[in-house]
Amino acid sequence: MSLNKSRITTWLERSPTWVLTLYAVCASFAVYLCMYAFRKPFSAATYGGLKFFGTDLDLKTAFVISQIIGYTLSKYIGIKVCSEMTRGRRLWTLAGLILAAEATLVLFVILPDDWKLVALFFNGLPLGMVWRLVVLYLEGRRTSDLLLAGLCCSFILSSGMVKTVGKWLIDAHGTGDFWMPFLTGLILLAPFAIAIFLLNQIPGPTAADIQARVEREPMDRAERRAFMRRFLPGMIMLLVAYSLLTAYRDFRDNYMVEIFDDLGFGGKPEILTTTELPVAFGVLIALGALFMIKNNRLGLVAAFGIMISGLALMGGSTLLLDAGKMKRDACMVCVRLGVYLAYVPFMLKMVSDCLCESLHPA
């Protein structure tokens, strides 16, 4: 990569803050949306009730578990890889990770059915680092919270959009279940290349950004122990809540096609996307309101309020559906919105940041 600034970077440096913010949100959103084309399309298929090595375990379930293991391992690998990543290497690293993931989808086609989970394990290995690499372009700015909120909306919409493409390939073009993930990735390979190029044009933080972002001081052993003694019960409850939300989110995400089929929406792949649009807008509005709160203690209370409201929305809409007082598609939207209202504050580190900073309220 040349050290000379491109025309786009120079233009962004001279543009008003809102222009840079909008550009960064759109570019990062596009990158992460395209990434899902290499991670989630396999879950758009049902694989005809195939079993794993003749056991009672569905082959699709084995696929899901295998990819999650690889994706989780990737997060730990990324602690070293991403922390050592220089600005000049980010673009080519993102490109290499996606090409590696697409190559594993070729293996997904050619390996025997029961061994295809190996391909999905290696598919998860590169993809788990994409989030952190994208975040590197957005952090350290006065507008980072807004940028990350926009990025979070990408994984709300992306999974449904990718599944819509996958179902369209299967239903409209007769693509086989095992070929569909590779072709979905191939379709979005060029858009991904454009998206990472545009993302790489974002200029680094300005001197004003660096000055405005307060450095988080490291804790020594005594401070960590004091922090844990004070907040341990609450941290345990948050960890349990986050684990349950993550499990529920992933289950719904991987079996969304089956859920909509059971609800009577089979043959309508577009519903996988249309039901996600109000969810993304709802979450963005809630987070936008939260970011307007400058007092850390009040922000912590508001963050918990949003999370509790999301959990209440999940439970309430489910009870209304069981009572016959809510339509099935409306219930799916409300449950999805509730999940992300409770889940996204964890992703943005709102709770941990407000908790730490509330010790020294603004």
Per-residue confidence (pLDDT) for residue 123, from 0 to 100: 95
Q: By C-alpha distance, which of 109, 131, 140, 123 is closest to 39?
A: 123
Check: CB of residue 94 under 8 Å from CB of residue 196. yes
Instruction: Report CA-CA distances (Å) from 277 to 40, 82, 154, 251, 346.
Output: 18, 31, 11, 20, 21
Q: In this predicted structure, what is the pLDDT of residue 195? A: 96
Q: Which region among 67-71, 204-208, 257-261, 351-355 has the lowest average model confidence (pLDDT)? A: 351-355
51 forms bridges with which residues in the sheet?
58
Answer for the pair 168, 232: CB distance below 8 angstroms, yes or no: no
- Give the pLDDT score at 349: 55
Mean per-residue pLDDT, 203-231: 73
Q: Please determine, for residue 355, whether its predicted confidence score (pLDDT) is greater than 70.
A: no
Backbone torsions φ then ψ of 58, nearest 5 degrees: -60, 145
126-146: average pLDDT: 87
How many CB atoms neighbour CB 86 within 10 A?
A: 8
Burial of 152 (0-12, 13-18, 19+ CB in 10 A): buried
Q: Which amino acid is at 2?
A: S
Q: What is the pLDDT of residue 297?
A: 77
Helix 296-322 / helix 328-347 crossing angle, nearest 10 deg: 160
Pick from 113, 36, 78, 108: which is nearest to 273 by CA? Answer: 36
In the prediction, which pLDDT does 199 show? 96
- pLDDT grade for 2, boundaries at 50, 70 and 90: very low
pLDDT over 50 at 360, yes or no: no
The separation between CA 101 and the C-alpha centre of its own chain, rounded to angstroms, equals: 17
Q: For residue range 157-187, list pLDDT tens digits in order.
A: 888 888 889 989 998 899 999 999 999 999 9
- pTM for this prediction: 0.80
What average pLDDT does this structure show over 62-78? 91
Q: What is the pLDDT of residue 358?
A: 44
Fold of 7-208: Growth Hormone; Chain: A; (1.20.1250)
* Residue 356: pLDDT over 60: no
Residue 359: pLDDT band by 50, 70, 90 thresholds?
very low
Over range 312-338, report the average pLDDT: 90
Query: Could you tell me which residues come within 8 angstroms of residue 26 by beta carbon, excluding any fewer than 6 positions away?
Result: none
Give CATH 1.20.1250.20 domain extents, the chain. Answer: 7-208
Q: Both tokens of residue 126?
A: 């590169």
How many beta carbons lie within 10 A of that of residue 261, not counting itself? 14
The more confident residue out of 30 and 241 is 30
Q: How many CB atoms sit inside 10 A of residue 120's CB?
A: 27
Q: Which of 160, 329, 331, 307 is nearest to 245 (CA)?
A: 307
Of all residues in the chain, what percent carry a pLDDT higher than 70?
91
The CA radius of gyration of the chain, in Å to the nearest whole number, is: 21
- Residues 287-313 have pLDDT tens digits of 878 777 777 678 778 888 998 999 999
Cα 106 from chain centroid (whole Å): 24
Residue 182 backbone dihedrals phi, psi, to 5 degrees: -65, -45
| The one-letter amino acid at 216 | R
pLDDT exceeds cutoff 50 at 351: no
Which range has the worst mean pLDDT, 56-65, 71-80, 321-330, 347-356? 347-356
Query: pLDDT confidence of 350, banded at 50, 70, 90?
Result: very low
CA 128 distance to own-chain centroid: 10
